Amino acid sequence: MTTHVETRYSTHPDDVQHYDTAALRKHFHVPSLMKEDEITLCYSHYERMIVGGVVPVKTQVELTPVDQLKSDYFLARRELGVINVGGKGTVTVDDVAYPLGNKEGLYVGMGNKRVTFSSDDASAPARFYINSTPAHHAYPDRHMTLDKCNVLHMGSQATCNERDIYQLLIKGVIETCQLQMGITLLKSGSVWNTMPAHQHDRRMEAYFYFDLAPGQAVCHFMGQPKETRHLWMANEEAVLSPAWSIHSGCGTSNYAFIWSMAGENLDYNDMDKYAPDELR
């Protein structure tokens, strides 16, 4: 088993105004997260969030500590969120097994010493997207399914953004220290997400795009509201969104994405919104 990890440092919005496409992708785009029998991690200095992917095929894969954490085990000072975007699999936390179907989530609290990932069927492996953030308290582990979480029905067909937002790991559904995660599913014919766009200076966010048909792409918009930039995203790729940046996207077809947040508060509605005609 191999663990790959890279570090992304924070950037100032004034500097980003001068970035070309290569620099934008270097600092914010996170490609190739899903590799067979490997763990791929990106350690971000935005709220110290880790984004990653695990695809167990031939063997069980264990989440081991990385040098960036300087800890004896991965969750010594952290909490973890897992959402499966592939076939059926199991996450085992200190000998307790949690079966996860497609689009099911798991919260793993601080202090758990051993976390492993496995697939039920190697021909249709689980594809686990993971997020981890620093924690100060050990909350209980929780398995979450779409039928148990809060659901927001947003947008309309007329504005091409009809979508369902499933709040899986979020205040009011489960207890976490700071990590919040959920899934947004766009209806057929809808392509815009998070429009009107917003930013929240009190927390950062990461998006992971998935269920995108072959040959299709999502154009992810970022930057300050008056200085926007864009990144083209392929299936199963992530993007980091600093507190000073908007986060929105438009696809060449409908798709799904996982959003995750960490920072100052757990108020989902703490957003500074910008109407489409305010953006530049």
Q: Would you state the pLDDT for residue 3?
A: 94
Half-sphere exposure of 253 (CA within 13 A, CB side): 11
CATH number at residue 39: 2.60.120.10
Show the domain range for 6.
2-278
Do 78 and 176 contact (CB within 8 A), yes or no? no
For 138-156, letters b (16+ CB in 10 Å) and e give: ebebbebebeebeeeeebe
pLDDT tens-digit profile, the chain (280 residues): 689 999 999 999 999 999 999 999 999 999 999 999 999 999 999 999 999 999 999 999 999 999 999 999 999 999 999 999 999 999 999 999 999 999 999 999 999 999 999 999 999 999 999 999 999 999 999 999 999 999 999 999 999 999 999 999 999 999 999 999 999 999 999 999 999 999 999 999 999 999 999 999 999 999 999 999 999 999 999 999 999 999 999 999 999 999 999 998 898 888 999 999 999 9
Do the beta carbons of residue 123 and residue 131 sit within 8 Å? no
Task: Please state whether the peptide bond connecting residue 125 to the residue before it is cis, i.e. omega within 30 degrees of 0.
Answer: no
Report the alpha-carbon distance of residue 256 to residue 265 in Å, rounded.
25
CA dihedral in degrees (171, 174, 176, 182; nearest 10)?
Answer: -70
User: How many structural domains comprise the chain?
Assistant: 1
The reported pLDDT for the residue numbered 269 is 86
* N-term to C-term CA, the chain: 46
> How much is the pLDDT for 187?
95
Q: Are 103 and 84 in contact (CB under 8 A)?
A: yes
Give me the pLDDT at residue 36, please. Answer: 97
Angle among Cα 100, 103, 106 to the nearest 5 degrees reads 50
